[in-house]
Structure 1
């Protein structure tokens, strides 16, 4: 998971060093900055966005095309002024209502982070651990109910858990790989807070381990700068790998 603290220290309109060369549609930080600019300014052309972010025209177009496909922005024709030269008016991009609503969640993230800082200061690290465990307890109970009938095989349980987590908004999928299995979560509701308080990720990993019924290893997390939360599930001795992949429907768009 990406270091959100480092990102938040950069001005929203500051150019990104080297972004014109290396910008890709898969960088969520760039799209976050596009959203922030549109939130602050209302409507901008692709050229204005590219100049503010230090992105080449081709790079900003790739980001905007992806955001259009995801329903984060819509394109409109720019209002034509009386003294404007003839020609096709430039398109401006504005946030959709859904994307604008999501921008407001960071206020709650800031409040949650401040609350956890207070808990850590007043109660110590153990109090944060206890809070994290209590927060995931309800999630564990709901997922456990969804896993009834999944059997005892860890990989089968991981597939069932992926479906349960997707229903909770985590956009998860489970895949069988050579060394066992892999559970991926493409969305994290608490990523900004977990970047400072990894106890939230640790409590969630413990829940995954208990629900699947075996030791698991967290390989990557969105809160620490990775694009996906990835949990490895060791293969069982003597168990043939089927190569089966079960992918659930994305719910974070």
Structure 2
């Protein structure tokens, strides 16, 4: 996606040619503006043109021009932003998300390096069980550093607000997290919650190294002060990473495992839904 001066002139002209392949667009110079737009969507999940302009310090008109080029190349697609709970008047906002081709082009460039590094860590200690534990130790150290930052965000939250505070902290790191309140099976019992991560920057790596997901779940449990259950992960082919968080004093609910994490178009901001039908999907 390197934009040489001649390419920039060509792009400003009507009917400019679309690059031949998705990989060519994304891998030919990661500092180009169009690559920054695509990378921001990758890191933060589905985003509106206004959100992208704010994050990148560009005008909305400039962002839309790059989005048009990415869409023409098959790297980005637009969709209506899904809103949980009550919605105001007017049409839903339009957001832009990477297509499978767009994600694959990025993963070819960045994920292979990370996968090679983790495989080297495993092989350096002899592979097998020792290698798995070495990767797990790395994952725990990585998420442990994140936990320190998230802990500060949760320190001022009340007992019933910690899951929402964690979702907001995760969203700030590009995980596009939301919270769904889940009614308890027992009458008069407090509701639990589903912490949903609609985007995972390391999903392709976690496919090969599940220790990353396991370490993240351990961190969630420690931060929230309760045993949590990972119901679904993007790394295993689900639409959303979903973690069940029981209400204070309540037991975990394995029944909520059914059909968790199938919603791929949810809004990429932290929030709460009390819609029972949404949490049962």
TM-score, normalised with respect to structure 1: 0.57
Tell me how far 1:94 sits from its aligned partner: 2.8
| 3-state SS, counterpart of residue 161 of structure 2 | helix
Hey, what does 1:39 align to over in structure 2?
A: 22
Give the conservation status (yes or no) of the 8 Å contact 1:170–1:189: yes
Aligned to 1:53: none
Name which of 154, 168, 191 aligns with 1:163. 168
2:194–2:243 CA contact under 8 A, matched in 1: yes
Cα distance between partner residues in 2 of 1:161 and 1:184: 11
8 Å contact kept, 2:230–2:244: yes
Cα offset, 1:122, TM superposition: 2.0
Instruction: Give how far 1:138 is off.
Output: 1.7
C-alpha separation in 1, matches of 2:137 and 2:68: 43
Unmatched runs of 5 consecutive residues or more in structure 2: 1-18, 26-45, 50-63, 77-96, 126-130, 185-191, 251-265, 270-281
Structure-1 residue corresponding to 2:193: 181
The root-mean-square deviation of aligned C-alpha atoms, in Å, is 3.6
Superposition deviation, residue 38 in structure 1: 4.4
Deviation, 1:101, is 8.8
* CA–CA distance in structure 1, aligned partners of residues 24 and 223 of structure 2: 46
CA contact (8 A) 1:166 1:249 kept: no
| Shift >2 Å, 4+ stretches | 67-73, 94-106, 235-238
Give 1:120's aligned residue. 122
Q: Does 1:139 align with 2:146?
A: yes
Please tell me whether the aligned partners of residues 218 and 230 of structure 1 are also in contact (alpha carbons under 8 angstroms). Answer: yes
Count of paired positions: 167
Deviations 1:57-78 (A, max 9, x none): xxxxxxxxxx9988785279xx
- The 1:207–1:217 alpha-carbon spacing in structure 2 relative to 1, beyond 3 Å, is same
- TM (normalized to structure 2)? 0.51
Shift of 1:106: 3.3
- How many Å separate the matches in 2 of 1:249 and 1:106? 27
Q: Tell me whether 1:149 sits opposite 2:160 in the alignment.
A: no
> Larger Rg: 1 or 2?
1
SS at match of 1:182: strand
Q: 2:239 aligns with which of 221, 224, 227?
A: 227
Query: Which sections of structure 1, spanning at least 5 residues, go unmatched?
Result: 1-35, 43-66, 77-91, 239-247
Shift in Å, 1:160? 0.8
CA contact (8 A) 1:74 1:95 kept: no
| Residue in 2 that maps onto 1:250 | 268
The reply on whether 1:191 has 2:203 as its aligned counterpart is yes
Is 2:218 aligned against 1:206? yes
Measured at CA, do residues 174 and 38 of structure 1 come closer, stay the same or move farther in structure 2, by a change above 3 Å? Answer: same
Distance in 2, matches of 1:68 and 1:167, equals: 13
Distance change in 2, residues 1:112/1:157 (3 Å): same
Q: Which residue matches 1:59?
A: none
